[in-house]
Structure 1
Amino acid sequence: ALIAYTQGAHLNQGVSSYKDSIQAEAENLGIDGRFGAGTPRISDGQLLFLQHMISKMRDDETGSRIGIVMNGSPLFTGGAGSGESEIRRWMLESDWVEAIVALPTDLFYNTGIQTYVWLLTNRKPEDRRGKVQLIDASGERFWKSMRKSLGSKRREIPEEARAEIVRIYAAFLNGESGQEEVSRVFDATDFGYREIRVERPLRLNFRVDDERLARLACQKPYARQDESDRVAVKAALRTIGDALFTNREVFEDVVSKALKAAGLKIGAPVRKAILAALSERDEQAEICTGKDGRSEPDTELRDHERVPQGEDWREYMKREVLPFVSDAWVDERYLDARDREVGRVGYEINFNRYFYKYVPPRPLEEIDAELKALEAEIAGILKEMTA
């Protein structure tokens, strides 16, 4: 059975009017329903429709093949753990994606955007199992300009180019296929990665000076106190002097002694506000630790790394991160919702990454010579006009 549809190139992709019913089906039926793999953002329903088509595939000896034209969004929209990524993960791990063909731009009446043909099947031949073929048919060899445009449609794929695309697909070509590299075959897992959260320790210095005390007035827990209490707290803090502290525990102890000497008792929110106002990040300061003695992460330095699917994240950290930031560590509480392993699994298919061809810039000498020639030509024209 062949299911074919053109989607994404010319239709409104919004699904807001169906949001509640789609979400209800996804939650109630799960993977037994049409949308159990995930739900994308409501502004783009292409992957929802693709899931609907997959649900119609026949599960018999011949199975089904799906052909659908979509824009580039389903290839890469959504990070690890998002609805879009989970749908791609489901399709690729189920080994349904057979090939994706990038088409030329300006093929449709209402839009000139890049479009892609997705080919899916639940009965892959033996040599294609676990593999995905990407074909870049967007180059000039695959299209010709129309003599007269029809709206945004300025190009068409001639018969010989269509035959060439079919030949490349049928031959399952990997690498050089004629004039240039337009077809590559990947393992389905090549599009997967595991996103790990990389933390770095919080390092703060502390000082009591006019600038930092002014920041204290903006802290809500402090500002909610009576004016007399605010004045008393500031006066007590000024007794500390303007020495620079690079250890948070030491500074907390100094603050406690200053407040106690002034006969002041403050709650935890105000104490926290004092530390926040009087601190600044300092790479040379000592690491701030929690009650358990572990390094406290600095949320401003938090980063995420993509570990290729199948590679151990510990080895990745040793090779790619620790040589440059030796105090970094992985947050092992940042887990994938499905396999409960460290890091969230994501899938994306980036055509540019696989088919990009670097074109070196022209030499500066060549550009300079061309500019000088143009200047001379302009000067000659001006001379003739004024003669």
Structure 2
Amino acid sequence: MNLDTQSLQPIINFIWTVADDVLINKYLENQYQDVILPMTVLRRLDLALEKSKDKVLKTHNEFKSKMDNLDGLLTSKEHGSGLAFYNTSPYTMKKLLDDPKNIDSNFLDYLNGYSENVQDIISKFKFRNQLETLENGGITFSLIEKYCNPKVELRPEKISPMAMGYMFEDLIRRFNEKTNAAAGRHFTPREIIELMTHLVYLPVKDQIQNGTFLVYDPCAGSGAMLTQSKKYATDPDGEVKSKATFHLYGQENTGEMYATCKSDMLLKNEDPEKIKFGSTLSEYGFEPNLKFNFMLTNPPYGTSWKQDIDNLNVGSGKKVEINDRRFNLSIKNHKGELEEKCLTSRSNDGQLMFMLHMLSKMKDPKDGGSRIASVHNGSALFTGDAGSGESGIRQYIIENDLLETVIALPLDMFYNTGQPTYILILSNNKAKSRKGFVQLIKADTFFKKMTKALGKKKSELNSEHINKIVELYLSNENNKYSKIYTNEEFGYYSLKIKHSEKDFKDNHDIKDFEYISLTENIDEYIKNEVLKYTPNAKPDKKSAKIGYSINFIEKFHQANDYRELKDIISDIELLESKTLGLLNTVLK
């Protein structure tokens, strides 16, 4: 079900006024979010605990001197909050307003009363760093009063985690635009998430009706992709209607987004310990042998992973060699021999490294295998020559028959980029009809223009568009919007050719490259396409390298229908006769 984002605008607008009404002249504009975002999360947690406040305090006071660890009691339904977190201070945000004179010390006591899992959230927001500024500016009371206004409806039963993720992302986008900062890299439009969940779960819906499944997002952001995927799979009125148990795992390296994600996991009674903080590439937070059934993500693209390279201890020099089994893989050379290589992308774009990371977390096909949906820009499809890390990663994916489908999305779908974007669907347990093939879906014309742009997002998908794309994917047929190619058709040999001056009237020896499809024989190609025209050319077969790229323009190119030569000649002769007749008339 699509999220009604318009209904959230009044709440977002009201929260936005807090900055203008309370923080102005006390904070710089680029610091507003350091207060607004954590206060929004804390108020949401505060409202969730309101009903159980008296019960929690009673249990805490009764047992605090008798037991060292009260977590079990204070989170139980019978004696505590009934949630995975609690607050043992005597205050709620509303009660803080009853004592304006002591509000700063009481607010600190309120923050200190939260359970350890919420302390982690407060810490990642670095919110305690703001308390002195709030106190010195005399704005603590005004800030809390604003958030206790009924117009700020943040109750979990009213605002879902998906809606909360949208609100946060919209607020952060506004902050970034106001300060001319780069737009957030975490933001995935909700209709794109909806499309991805359909593509991941529908093909295997009969196999996931019961049991336990693990879902993972290595770039979790606000966690919306995780929570929405579970909601879609388990919705009793949905298309899958699974009764299985789904555990959500994620990792995020931006403090504010990690804190947002973890807070919503708490409110959804998901295990907050399954959300880890840190860089997935160099500080992976889970057991190395933990595998996942489903993975959905929108990794950062066009973003440096240089710090990860340094953290992974790769040594000195320009050549990156990472001693990590996720990135050291076997691919074929031009002789068909397997060679182990360290496959790394350029340091200024780590998106394909996240893909390799996810591939290492796939379950064995004997155990059902894994399915991946990941959003990328065009760089992941064609950047990098034969022999480069990017090309090698594509080679590994395609030669191991992991790539099912690539879907070209419409332009202007994302808040922070207008460039072409694609959804890649991967599986290590392909259906029999898909084995050895890759499906390309050209869905860039399936959209409607938005009435009002959000950042750079000017286009959106409706249910009809999503259903059309899913239908094309499931049918897996060749048509105007869908093309099926063998794996080999995306590969090519890059071969150095030295041309002799004997074959040219004016120049000297020339070196260039021939790009030969893997579906062709190298010797036959050289004979028919090179030596036929430049008989003195010398191919350097030792220089041959294998490359892989996915070019939508080339694969969807429609050849023009050309007229017969005799018809063209006839028309030219007719034009000449008319022109000559006109010239003779003028000359007379």
Q: Tell me if both proteins adopt one fold, taking TM over 0.5 as the criterion.
A: yes
Q: CA RMSD in A?
A: 2.4
Does structure 1 residue 319 correspond to structure 2 residue 528?
yes
3-state SS in 2 of match to 1:173: coil
Distance 2:302 2:511 in 1: 37
Question: Is this contact kept in 1: 2:296–2:372, CA < 8 A?
Answer: yes
- Cα deviation, 1:133-155, whole Å, max 9, x if unaligned, reads 0000001xx10011111111111
Letter of the 1:14 counterpart: S
Does structure 1 residue 75 correspond to structure 2 residue 381?
yes
- Cα deviation, 1:297-344, whole Å, max 9, x if unaligned, reads x6x51010011104221110111111211111211331xxxxxxxx11
Deviation, 1:12, is: 5.4
3-state SS in 2 of match to 1:165: helix
Which of the numbers 111, 115, 118 marks the counterpart of 2:421?
Answer: 115
Question: Is this contact kept in 1: 2:327–2:343, CA < 8 A?
Answer: no
Question: Is this contact kept in 1: 2:302–2:351, CA < 8 A?
Answer: no
Does structure 1 residue 330 correspond to structure 2 residue 539?
yes
Match of 1:45 in 2: 350
Match of 2:68 in 1: none
Match of 2:294 in 1: 2
Deviation, 1:283, is: 4.7
Question: Is this contact kept in 2: 1:57–1:63, CA < 8 A?
Answer: yes
Return 5+ residue gaps in structure 2 as ranges. 1-292, 330-341, 562-588
Distance 2:383 2:393 in 1: 11
Question: Is this contact kept in 1: 2:374–2:424, CA < 8 A?
Answer: yes
Question: Is this contact kept in 2: 1:22–1:35, CA < 8 A?
Answer: no
- Cα deviation, 1:201-247, whole Å, max 9, x if unaligned, reads 367xxxxxxxxxxxxxxxxxxxxxxxxxxxxxxxxxxxxxxxxxxxx
Match of 1:173 in 2: 477
Distance 1:282 1:125 in 2: 53
Which of the numbers 290, 296, 306 marks the counterpart of 1:16?
Answer: 306
Letter of the 1:24 counterpart: V
Question: Is this contact kept in 2: 1:2–1:64, CA < 8 A?
Answer: yes
3-state SS in 2 of match to 1:101: strand
CA distance 1:23–1:345, shift in 2 (3 Å): farther
Question: Is this contact kept in 2: 1:5–1:69, CA < 8 A?
Answer: yes
Distance 1:192 1:333 in 2: 18
Question: Is this contact kept in 1: 2:491–2:517, CA < 8 A?
Answer: yes
Question: Matches of residues 89-100 of structure 1 in structure 2 within 5 Å?
Answer: 89-100=395-406
3-state SS in 2 of match to 1:315: helix
Match of 1:263 in 2: none
3-state SS in 1 of match to 2:314: helix
CA distance 1:284–1:44, shift in 2 (3 Å): closer
Question: Is this contact kept in 2: 1:35–1:48, CA < 8 A?
Answer: no
3-state SS in 1 of match to 2:453: strand
Letter of the 1:34 counterpart: F
Distance 1:351 1:28 in 2: 32
CA distance 1:105–1:326, shift in 2 (3 Å): same
Distance 2:490 2:458 in 1: 33
Match of 1:131 in 2: 437
Deviation, 1:20, is: 3.2
Question: Matches of residues 1-387 of structure 1 in structure 2 within 5 Å?
Answer: 1-8=293-300, 13-22=303-312, 24=314, 27=321, 29=323, 32-36=325-329, 38-59=343-364, 60-139=366-445, 142-174=446-478, 176=479, 181-201=480-500, 283=505, 301-334=510-543, 343-357=544-558
Deviation, 1:282, is: 8.5
Distance 2:492 2:542 in 1: 18
3-state SS in 1 of match to 2:481: strand
Return 5+ residue gaps in structure 1 as ranges. 204-280, 286-297, 335-342, 361-387
Distance 1:103 1:187 in 2: 22
Question: Is this contact kept in 2: 1:198–1:302, CA < 8 A?
Answer: yes
Question: Is this contact kept in 1: 2:449–2:458, CA < 8 A?
Answer: yes
CA distance 1:190–1:22, shift in 2 (3 Å): farther
Distance 1:7 1:284 in 2: 51
Letter of the 2:551 counterpart: N
Distance 1:81 1:144 in 2: 40
Distance 2:384 2:434 in 1: 27
* More divergent stretch after superposition (151-160 vs 58-67): 58-67
Question: Is this contact kept in 1: 2:413–2:459, CA < 8 A?
Answer: yes
- Cα deviation, 1:338-376, whole Å, max 9, x if unaligned, reads xxxxx111100000101235789xxxxxxxxxxxxxxxx
Deviation, 1:28, is: 5.9
Letter of the 1:173 counterpart: E
Distance 1:351 1:13 in 2: 24
TM-score (normalizing by structure 2): 0.41
Distance 1:90 1:306 in 2: 19
Distance 1:332 1:323 in 2: 18
Query: Which structure has more helix as a fraction of its residues?
Result: 2
Question: Is this contact kept in 1: 2:327–2:344, CA < 8 A?
Answer: no
Deviation, 1:6, is: 1.1
Match of 1:278 in 2: none
Paired residues in the alignment total 252
Question: Is this contact kept in 2: 1:35–1:52, CA < 8 A?
Answer: no
CA distance 1:201–1:124, shift in 2 (3 Å): same
Letter of the 1:62 counterpart: G
* More divergent stretch after superposition (111-120 vs 307-316): 307-316
Match of 2:67 in 1: none
Distance 1:85 1:330 in 2: 22
CA distance 1:88–1:190, shift in 2 (3 Å): same
Match of 2:106 in 1: none
CA distance 1:171–1:95, shift in 2 (3 Å): same
Letter of the 2:381 counterpart: L
Distance 1:357 1:282 in 2: 34
Higher relative contact order (CA 8 A, sep 6+): 1
Deviation, 1:27, is: 3.9
TM-score (normalizing by structure 1): 0.61
CA distance 1:22–1:327, shift in 2 (3 Å): farther
Distance 1:29 1:352 in 2: 37
Deviation, 1:96, is: 0.3
Letter of the 1:20 counterpart: D
- Cα deviation, 1:6-44, whole Å, max 9, x if unaligned, reads 124xx55211112234573984646x3335451111111
Question: Is this contact kept in 1: 2:490–2:548, CA < 8 A?
Answer: yes
Question: Is this contact kept in 2: 1:6–1:68, CA < 8 A?
Answer: yes
CA distance 1:80–1:149, shift in 2 (3 Å): same
